[in-house]
Chains A and B, each alone.
Chain A
Amino acid sequence: MSAREHRPGSTGGADIVGPHYGGPDDDFTPEQLAAMSREDLDRLGARYDDVEILHVDPGPAPGSPLERRAVKQVGFVFTLAGIFSLLFVVAYIGSGWFLPEWNWAEFGGNGWSAFFTPALGLTMGLALICIGVGLVLYTKKLLPHETAVQGKHEGSHFDRVTTGATLVAGGHNSGLARRKLITRSLGFMGAAFGLMMIMPLGGFIKNPNKGNPLGTTPWKKGVRLVRSDGTPVRPGDQMPGSMETVFPAVPGGNTAADAPTMLFRLRPEQVAAYKPRKGQANFGYGDYVAFSKICTHAGCPVSLYEQETSRILCPCHQSQFLITDAATPIFGPAVRPLPQLPITLDSDGFFVARSDYIEAVGPTYWNRKRI
């Protein structure tokens, strides 16, 4: 309406709205709309959105006991939400002020600090739940329940055909179908361009075969076996039947992921039953044998040693290795025995490695060398 007027800034009388193809503004004059009730307007609008209100179950009658009770309930729940919110605020800012300190790690003994986090959670949680429950109660008990139905339309054939025509017209006018050179150069360009755009991903690539990082560990000939605190190990430090985790005495040796090694001192009957792997009979030293701690299945540290059965269990996927069988897997998903570290004594009488592991420790990979 207003656009038809002559106003400063408009281009003049020629600037008029074109014909509408139907539409509510043509169907209803402002006067007609003004004469309609709010409810009628609501339903009229809904009808234009293809929505029909089938049935309205009015809420409880104003002033009825039903309404009074529902209002009381909703009001109560909202008030409760407010109270819980305030309690959260009090617990949050009051701790260390008029309430005891909240830091559990520092003031674990004062009772309140252990209750601080639960108090925050319960007050905030209950506040939120109360608001939510209040809203649902409000909707269910106080709002009119209407059943509305809205039409659902399949795609319009008219739209498909006309849109298709527009698209095809654009494609046709471009003449790409005829201009073969352009299509071919576009194809070439697209492929090359795409290739260029993924090139920076090359920054992620590291050659896994350079220097055989998967097949080597910090262990070397002459490197001492030390405990995590750095003390070296000598024969007689361990009781027969015991196990100790040892690391290579090199910088960073106790954090290298492939270095952890288990040093076992076998009991006499274990020594008697011990069956070394082929060519590894001299890898142990006396009643001592050392095996990689890294599971050959998924790389977890195998740590649960049951000396009565000579089994060592990986707590991740329950592979079990028999120490007297040179750590061959006897149950679970692991396939290969734990690699054995060849050990001997150095001139000071401490355990040292005779070489690195002769095979890759840890899980199998595609081009892992078998021995």
Chain B
Amino acid sequence: MARTATAPGAPTSRLGKAAFEIDDRLIVAGPLRRTLNKVFPDHWSFLLGEIALYSFIVLLLSGTYLTFFFDASMREVVYDGSYAPLRGVSMSSAYESTLNLSFDVRGGLFIRQLHHWAALLFVAAIVVHLMRIFFTGAFRRPRETNWLIGVTLLVLAMLEGFAGYTIPDDLLSGTGLRIFMTVILSIPIVGTWLFFAVLGGDFPGTAIVGRLYIVHVLLVPGIILALIAVHLLVLVKQKHTQFPGPGRTEHNVVGNRLFPTFAAKATGLFLIVFGICAALGGAVQINPIWLWGPYNAAQVSSASQPDWYIGFLEGSMRLFPAWEINFPGNYSIPAPFWPTVFLPGVLFTLLALYPMIERKLTGDTVSHHLLQRPRDVPVRTSLGVMSIAFYVVLVISGGNDVIADKFDISLNAMTWIGRIGLVVIPPIAYFFTYRICLGLEQHDREVLEHGIETGVIRRLPHGEFIEVHQPLGPVDAHGHGTLAYGGAPVPKRMNQVGGARRAIRGFFSPIESPTAVEMEQRAEGRGLASAEEQTGRELTTSGRPSEGGRPSDGGRPQEPRD
């Protein structure tokens, strides 16, 4: 090497020298700089997908721990562990090892509950992330691929969760498995074949826990991991979408660079997600399997409920009427087929194809990188709320026995409320959402045209009272604002355009002098008081300053907030 310590730009520190050595071998400086410099837009709703990712990491960590103690076998054993009420009860080895890891492994119960809570959070975060993507139009071209991957991930996450809570082979999960197998059995023509293929014989057999275990710890997590990797690669390649705002266009991304701001915040969020799962896992009991007992085909607890993400199928199964289709020659389509195979099949197909359906119907085939506010796309927003209403009725009906019990309502009435609600509530939700969207849209336009209501009432010389409106931009001859709506939030209160004095920092012991803040504000021309000093502008009869003008924003770009 010809480089010496005196060569220009040569590293002098030990760390710098080490970095040069590494780059000599791996040539990573370029890609690393590009990565560190990558700009990510900042909005709270962009963290939802991250929460899903982080809870998946928590699941991998805690799940790996659990595998060292869990024995996925349906071999019959007689319990002789430390939990007295179950001693002498014969059960499967899977259930026994779950009891042992809950009672006799130091901290085992904590990790098991942490794992379960993280699983609930994982699916919940995916669902909320999906709603964010849907309502802001982030699935539009060119992001249809990632939408499809996301929908696949949601289905896989549900399957993964189901397999996970089934393998302890307790009474609750065994009942769930029995219902799941009925769902498979209900498929016309191939149902019985699939049923026997999955179980390796008649229900329950001796294979299913071992099979679900390998599905749960290897097959599905492997696919999920690979799909998450593709999901993120596509995201990085296509760059993140952003909400419209100052300086934001279809051809740029405005935000923070990965290093250090975004990386620090993301790490912080990961730790907070992990921490919340850990706190819940320790302090909030979940799935106390020792209370359910081992699986027994002759027993069931009342209020048997699946984890929340399977609840909508439970609900649809409860609500669907007793309609079995009988064909001549002893062939039938069982009643559970429609609510548990057909309905979710249609729902998830529609969900997966939605970007293509919308593209077809609107004829919008252009690439979009700026997000939409839900109010600006009333039809899509209303469809979304309608679907959520449909889903919520199903989930509530999945627990209708508990509601009937706690609120002393007839169980049959709850079923009928669900049946009727499923048909009636979604259209109502559509109608009201549509009207609300239009109302919000109109109000945005009104503020752009007439200005913000200041709350200041003035009496004009001829006795008329008017409310002063603050225009957001230049006004035309009639005093109407000339700013066009740009898809970004319109400020609706004076405080949002610097109408108020900013708060003095330091809640208990102020660390600034109020006078200094006041002076600074006046110098920046902020606040109503400073506006009044500007030699009383003449007001028009509709309450706008005649020459218009915009309050100074202090030279600081304001982050639009929803």
Residues in chain A within 8 A of chain B (CB atoms): 1-2, 5, 29-31, 33-34, 45-46, 48-49, 51, 54-55, 57, 65-66, 69, 92, 95, 102-106, 117-136, 138-139, 143, 145-154, 204-209, 213-214, 228, 245, 247, 254-260, 293-294, 297-301, 303-304, 313, 315-320, 329, 331-336, 362-370
**In the complex, are the beta carbons of A152 and B369 less than 8 A apart?**
yes
Question: What are 25 contact pairs spanning A and B, CB under 8 A?
Answer: A31-B9, A65-B511, A105-B290, A117-B110, A120-B107, A124-B275, A125-B281, A129-B271, A129-B272, A131-B271, A132-B267, A135-B267, A135-B268, A139-B265, A146-B257, A147-B255, A205-B193, A257-B178, A257-B203, A298-B336, A315-B401, A318-B401, A335-B334, A366-B191, A368-B332
Query: Interface 1/0s, chain B 256-298, versus A by CB < 8 A?
Result: 1100110011011111101111111111000000100000111
Give the nearest-CB partner of B298 in chain A: A260
Shortest distance from the beta carbon of B199 to any chain A beta carbon, whole Å: 8
Measured between beta carbons, the chain A residues less than 8 angstroms from B82 are 103, 105-106
The answer to whether A129 touches B179 (Cβ under 8 A) is no
**Complex partner residue of B252 from A29, A151, A258, A293, CB under 8 angstroms:** A151
Interface residues of B (CB under 8 A from A): 1-3, 7-9, 33-34, 37-39, 81-84, 103-104, 106-107, 109-110, 113-114, 175, 178-179, 181-183, 185-189, 191-193, 195-198, 200-204, 239, 247, 250-257, 260-261, 264-265, 267-272, 274-283, 290, 296-304, 314, 317-324, 326, 330-336, 339, 367, 369, 400-401, 411-412, 415, 505-506, 511-512, 556-557
Give every chain B residue within 8 A of A105 (Cβ-Cβ): 81-84, 103-104, 290
Q: Which residues of A contact B251 (CB under 8 A)?
A: 151-153
Q: Are A125 and B330 in contact (CB-based, < 8 A)? A: no
A209 close to B300 (CB less than 8 A): no
Contacts of B260 in A (CB 8 A): 139, 143
Q: Which residues of B contact A320 (CB under 8 A)?
A: 412
Q: Closest residue of chain B to A151, judged by CB?
A: B252
Task: Report B-chain residues with C-beta under 8 Å of the C-beta of A257.
Answer: 178, 202-204, 297
In the bound complex, residues from chain B placing their C-beta under 8 Å from that of A247 are: 298
Judged by DSSP, the binding face of B is mixed
Interface hub of A65, A150, A151, A260 (most chain B Cβ within 10 A): A150
Chain A residues with Cβ under 8 A from B299's Cβ? Answer: 301, 303
Complexed CA–CA distance, A183 and B416 (Å)? 61
CB closest residue in chain A, given B414? A318
Q: Are B300 and A315 in contact (CB under 8 A)?
A: yes
Can you name 7 extra interface pairs (CB under 8 A) apart from A257-B203, A335-B323?
Answer: A30-B8, A66-B511, A105-B81, A121-B283, A122-B279, A315-B303, A318-B412
Which residue of B193, B264, B511 contacts A143 across the interface (Cβ within 8 Å)?
Answer: B264
| B residues in contact with A31, CB < 8 Å | 8-9
Contact B178 A54 (CB under 8 A): no
Q: A92-B107, A132-B268, A150-B39 are in contact. Are A316 and B175 (CB under 8 A)?
A: yes
Shortest A32–chain B CB gap in Å is: 8
- How many Å from the CB of B325 to the closest CB on chain A? 10
* Chain A residues, CB < 8 A from B256: 146-148
Chain A nearest Cβ from B37, distance in angstroms = 4
A122 to B110, CA, bound (A): 10
Query: Does the CB pair B268–A136 fall under 8 Å?
Result: yes
Q: Identify the 9 closest CB pairs spanning chains A and B, nearest first.
A: A121-B282, A125-B279, A128-B275, A132-B271, A129-B275, A135-B268, A260-B298, A132-B272, A364-B334
Q: Report B465 CB to chain A, min CB distance, Å.
A: 42
Q: Are A124 and B282 neighbours in the complex by a CB distance under 8 Å?
A: yes
Smallest CB separation, B438 vs chain A (Å): 32
- State whether A213 and B322 are in contact (beta carbons under 8 Å apart), knowing that A49-B37, A117-B109, A365-B185 are contacts in the complex: no
Q: Are B37 and A208 in contact, with the CB atoms below 8 A? A: no
* Max count, chain B CB within 10 A of own CB: residue among A31, A131, A133, A260: A131
Q: Is the Cβ of B37 less than 8 Å from the Cβ of A51?
A: yes
| Pair B192/A46 contact, Cβ less than 8 Å | no
Question: B317 — which chain A residues lie within 8 A by C-beta?
Answer: 298, 317, 333
Contacts of B200 in A (CB 8 A): 204, 206
By beta carbon, the residue of chain A nearest B401 is A318
B113 touches A299 (CB 8 A): no
Chain A residues with CB under 8 A of B202: 213-214, 257-258
Q: Which chain A residue has the least Cβ–Cβ distance from B193?
A: A208
Contact among A106, A121, A136, A316 with B304 in the assembled complex (CB-CB below 8 Å): A316
With a CB–CB cut-off of 8 A, which chain A residues contact B321?
333
Instruction: Across the interface, name the chain A residue whose C-beta is closest to B556.
Output: A57
Task: Choose among B1, B106, B265, B336 the residue that contacts A363 (Cβ–Cβ < 8 A).
Answer: B336
Using CB atoms, name the residue of chain A closest to B299: A301
Once bound together, how far apart are the Cα atoms of A126 and B191, in whole Å? 49
Could you say which residues of chain A place their CB within 8 Å of the CB of B330? Answer: 367-370
Q: Which A residues lie within 8 Å of B204 (CB)?
A: 257
Query: Are B252 and A152 within 8 A (Cβ)?
Result: yes
| Closest-CB distance, B469 to chain A (whole angstroms) | 30
**Contact across chains for B203 and A299 when beta carbons are under 8 A apart:** yes
Are A332 and B192 closer than 8 Å at their CB atoms? no
Do B179 and A147 touch (CB < 8 A)? no
Out of A29, A54, A135, A368, which one reaches B264, CB within 8 Å?
Answer: A135
Q: Which residues of B contact A366 (CB under 8 A)?
A: 187-189, 191-192, 331-334
A34 to B12, CA, bound (A): 12
